[in-house]
Amino acid sequence: MKISPLYSLFLTVVSVLAIDLDTSSKSSICTATALIQQGISDYYEGDVYGGTVGMFVSPYYWWEAGLVFGGMIENWYLCQNTSYEDMLYDALMAQTGSDYDYMPSNQTMVEGNDDQGVWALTVMTAVERNFTNPKEDGTPGWLAMVQAVFNQMYSRWDSDHCNGGLRWQIFTWNSGYNYKNTISNGCLFQLAARLGRYTGNTTYLEVAEKVFDWLVDIDFVVMKEEANVFDGATIDDNCTSIVKYEWSYNHGVVLGGCAYMYNATNGSDVWQTRTEQILGGATSFFFEDDIMYESTCQASNKCNTDQRVFKAIFSRMLGYTSVLAPFTTDTITPLIDTSAAAAAKSCSGGTDGHTCGLNWFTGDWDGQYGLGEQACALEIINQLLVHDLPAPLTESTGGSSSGDASAGLNVSTTNVLQKNINITAGDKAGAGIITTIVLGVLVLGTVWMVL
Ligand SMILES: *[C@@H]1O[C@H](CO)[C@@H](O)[C@H](O)[C@H]1NC(C)=O
Ligand SMILES: *[C@@H]1O[C@H](CO)[C@@H](O)[C@H](O)[C@H]1NC(C)=O
Ligand SMILES: *[C@@H]1O[C@H](CO)[C@@H](O)[C@H](O)[C@H]1NC(C)=O
Ligand SMILES: *[C@@H]1O[C@H](CO)[C@@H](O)[C@H](O)[C@H]1NC(C)=O
Ligand SMILES: *[C@@H]1O[C@H](CO)[C@@H](O)[C@H](O)[C@H]1NC(C)=O
Ligand SMILES: *[C@@H]1O[C@H](CO)[C@@H](O)[C@H](O)[C@H]1NC(C)=O
Ligand SMILES: *[C@@H]1O[C@H](CO)[C@@H](O)[C@H](O)[C@H]1NC(C)=O
Ligand SMILES: *[C@@H]1O[C@H](CO)[C@@H](O)[C@H](O)[C@H]1NC(C)=O
């Protein structure tokens, strides 16, 4: 077949645009991540007329936006590139909500503990990386916002079922209210560990210990050389029928929490063993030939929109762990190097020539694309730089965010519901609809319970 001159020109242009990553060169890494973030911006609504600041286009939910901004703040820090600083600042401020607790009124009716928790992990990154502090008068610091989320999540601790733990959902009308899961509790665990390390307030470390112990007691986390981290269980049978899917984000969030605890306890033996065992499970379940993959869905090509972004937060947690628990560095570095190189090779598709794929084993783009694919490639490649700059800060090593240990406590779950209905009351028809829906769901729920 004769290739037309135009097509061969096109091929040349595309191969120039494809990502060519030298894993040992900072400028190559930052050029690659800039291209990948350009792909992320294609899904961003906030700078499009009529779009919402801090949100990505459908089908990407609010929680995923929170997750993706975390990888971009890391890149802002690791590449010392301020191009997205204003965009990130505006996004974090737009979605914090009127009580500065990441329960914005657009989300509260459907928001789960995991959604609020993942956003708070990102805001904690802003704290630890000394991201631009809120400038407007009277606005609390990022640290106070994380403390607000921590306080609210912990206030939802439910000792009446399964001996403790958070439920997945915050509100009774959402399906999943009867499910207790690892990600919600893992976020609370990690937030507590990070707040404890950052502020030096040992109350947080005690809460972290309590949440971790619960995860182990209830068998969501099974400690052994290669620890299991399962998804969760419903309270209907006292959390005994465990859903045994293993996802990289669950392993990652628990692993990161252990590494922060190890660091905050000045290297305790207990947390060293826990970190080793969770890492043992994570490396055995989510890597093949040192290349990361979402083993539960990727091989069968069944990863849904949410699952496609899990490797992103898992990658970030491997990086933090490598830094905060230095005995893991030799294990983690080759996993990061090999996976980052493989991910970069997958970023060679689409009309821009550098769209990233889901599967990093093929040495090429696999034809899949989306916000999750972009974010995973960004975060694994970010990690190549994680040892080049200072570790996550604390109050005593130069962090400048202002905190408030009692933030968020004035807002109760009932108030949140009340406030939503009040907001809608301006528009009476809207209020009627919301009330009808809420009552309808409550009635249905009751009928269902009676049956
Ligand atoms: C910083 O980011 C911008 C936007 O992604 C990019 O155009 C620029 O090349 C980056 N600068 C460096 C030094 O990588
Ligand atoms: C809330 O939703 C409305 C309607 O879609 C939108 O205009 C507004 O920007 C959203 N606000 C936030 C903070 O997401
Ligand atoms: C429920 O499980 C917890 C923890 O496994 C146990 O302590 C408690 O006794 C159980 N409660 C019931 C009612 O079986
Ligand atoms: C430490 O954290 C706990 C839990 O949020 C809080 O009640 C307490 O006031 C904090 N102590 C200080 C000295 O900030
Ligand atoms: C860790 O070491 C620091 C500095 O020596 C000390 O102030 C702190 O109390 C120690 N923390 C723990 C949990 O042992
Ligand atoms: C905690 O993390 C810092 C930053 O990487 C590191 O220098 C320190 O050694 C860690 N602490 C322990 C006990 O490993
Ligand atoms: C953190 O930011 C503040 C305010 O911009 C600055 O004064 C401080 O030096 C920064 N700390 C570090 C460690 O960079
Ligand atoms: C909580 O309410 C108390 C009493 O009404 C008030 O003094 C305090 O400032 C409030 N805190 C926050 C964070 O809003």
Residue nearest to atom 11 of ligand 1 (CA): 81
Residues 451 and 408 both lie in one domain = no
Residues 32 and 175 both lie in one domain = yes
Using CB distances shorter than 6 Å, the residues near ligand 2 are 52, 55, 94-95, 104, 106
Residue nearest to atom 13 of ligand 7 (CA): 398
pLDDT of amino acid 434: 38
Contacts of residue 210, defined as CB under 8 A and 6 or more positions apart, other chains included, come to: 164
The Cα-based distances of 357 to 25, 285, 313, 338, 382 in angstroms read 23, 20, 17, 16, 17
**Centre of ligand 4 from the C-alpha of residue 445, in Å:** 38
CATH code of 172's domain: 1.50.10.20
Ligand 4 nearest atom to the CA of residue 147, by list position:
5
pLDDT digits (tens, 9 = 90+) for 268-278: 999 999 999 99
Handedness of CA 364, 365, 371, 372 (dihedral sign): negative
**Centre of ligand 1 from the C-alpha of residue 365, in Å:** 23
Beta bridge partner(s), residue 288? 291
pLDDT of amino acid 442: 37
The whole domain housing 253 covers: 5-413
The token pair at 103 is 């329960």
pLDDT of amino acid 78: 98
Residues 204 and 311 both lie in one domain = yes
**Centre of ligand 8 from the C-alpha of residue 410, in Å:** 6
Burial 311-333 (b: 16+ CB within 10 A, else e): bbbbbbbbbbbbbbbeebeebbb
Pocket test for ligand 2, best of 58, 106, 108, 110 (most atoms within 8 A of CB): 106
Q: Name the pLDDT band for 416 (thresholds 50, 70, 90).
A: low
Amino acid type, 434: I
pLDDT of amino acid 158: 96
Pocket test for ligand 4, best of 194, 201, 202 (most atoms within 8 A of CB): 201
Q: Does ligand 1 lie within 6 Å of residue 106's CB atom?
A: no
Report the C-alpha gap between 101 and 116 in whole angstroms: 8
Residues 380 and 441 both lie in one domain = no
**DSSP letters of 122-177?**
HHHHHHHTT-----STTPPPHHHHHHHHHHHHHHT--TTSTTS---SBSSTTSTTT
pLDDT at 417 over 80: no
Residues 426 and 408 both lie in one domain = no
**Which residue carries 């893992």 as its tokens?**
186
Give the mean model confidence (pLDDT) for residues 251-268.
98
Report the C-alpha gap between 258 and 252 in whole angstroms: 10
Report the C-alpha gap between 402 and 421 in whole angstroms: 32
Residues 439 and 297 both lie in one domain = no
Q: Does ligand 8 lie within 6 Å of residue 145's CB atom?
A: no
Residues 226 and 277: beta-carbon distance below 8 Å: yes
Ligand 1 nearest atom to the CA of residue 30, by list position:
14
Q: Does ligand 4 lie within 6 Å of residue 201's CB atom?
A: yes
- Tallying the residues shown for the chain, one arrives at 451
Q: Name the pLDDT band for 17 (thresholds 50, 70, 90).
A: confident
Residues 351 and 429 both lie in one domain = no
Residues 342 and 429 both lie in one domain = no
**Centre of ligand 2 from the C-alpha of residue 139, in Å:** 20
pLDDT of amino acid 392: 98
Please state whether the peptide bond connecting residue 140 to the residue before it is cis, i.e. omega within 30 degrees of 0.
no
Residue nearest to atom 7 of ligand 7 (CA): 400
**Which residue carries 């080759």 as its tokens?**
334
Residue nearest to atom 8 of ligand 8 (CA): 410
Residue nearest to atom 9 of ligand 2 (CA): 52
Q: Does ligand 5 lie within 6 Å of residue 265's CB atom?
A: yes
Q: Does ligand 8 lie within 6 Å of residue 410's CB atom?
A: yes
Which of 367, 435, 416, 370 lies closest to 61 in space, CA to CA? 370
Q: Other CB atoms closer than 10 Å to residue 195's CB: what's the count?
A: 28
Contacts of residue 67, defined as CB under 8 A and 6 or more positions apart, other chains included, come to: 118, 122, 309, 312, 313, 375
pLDDT at 445 over 70: no
Residues 401 and 437 both lie in one domain = no
Q: Does ligand 5 lie within 6 Å of residue 351's CB atom?
A: no
Q: Does ligand 7 lie within 6 Å of residue 25's CB atom?
A: no
Report the C-alpha gap between 335 and 349 in whole angstroms: 24
What percentage of the chain has pLDDT greater than the value 90? 85
The token pair at 389 is 């700059």
Give the mean model confidence (pLDDT) for residues 264-269.
98
Residues 290 and 436 both lie in one domain = no
Give the mean model confidence (pLDDT) for residues 284-293.
98
The total domain count for the chain is 2
**Centre of ligand 3 from the C-alpha of residue 163, in Å:** 6
DSSP 297: T
pLDDT of amino acid 441: 39
Using CB distances shorter than 6 Å, the residues near ligand 3 are 162-163, 218, 238
Give the mean model confidence (pLDDT) for residues 23-36.
97
Residues 326 and 438 both lie in one domain = no
Q: Which ligand is nearest to the CA of 84?
A: 1
φ/ψ of residue 170, rounded to 5 = -90, -40
pLDDT at 144 over 80: yes
**Is 74 strand, coil or helix?**
helix
Q: Does ligand 7 lie within 6 Å of residue 130's CB atom?
A: yes
Pocket test for ligand 1, best of 30, 35, 41, 374 (most atoms within 8 A of CB): 30
Report the C-alpha gap between 194 and 187 in whole angstroms: 10
Q: Name the pLDDT band for 108 (thresholds 50, 70, 90).
A: confident
Residues 306 and 373: beta-carbon distance below 8 Å: no
Residues 282 and 248: beta-carbon distance below 8 Å: yes
pLDDT digits (tens, 9 = 90+) for 424-443: 443 333 333 333 344 333 33
pLDDT digits (tens, 9 = 90+) for 361-400: 999 999 999 999 999 999 999 999 999 999 999 999 999 9
Which of 369, 376, 391 lies closest to 325 in space, CA to CA? 391
Q: Which of 36-40, 286-290, 434-438 has the lowest mean pLDDT?
A: 434-438
Residues 326 and 273 both lie in one domain = yes
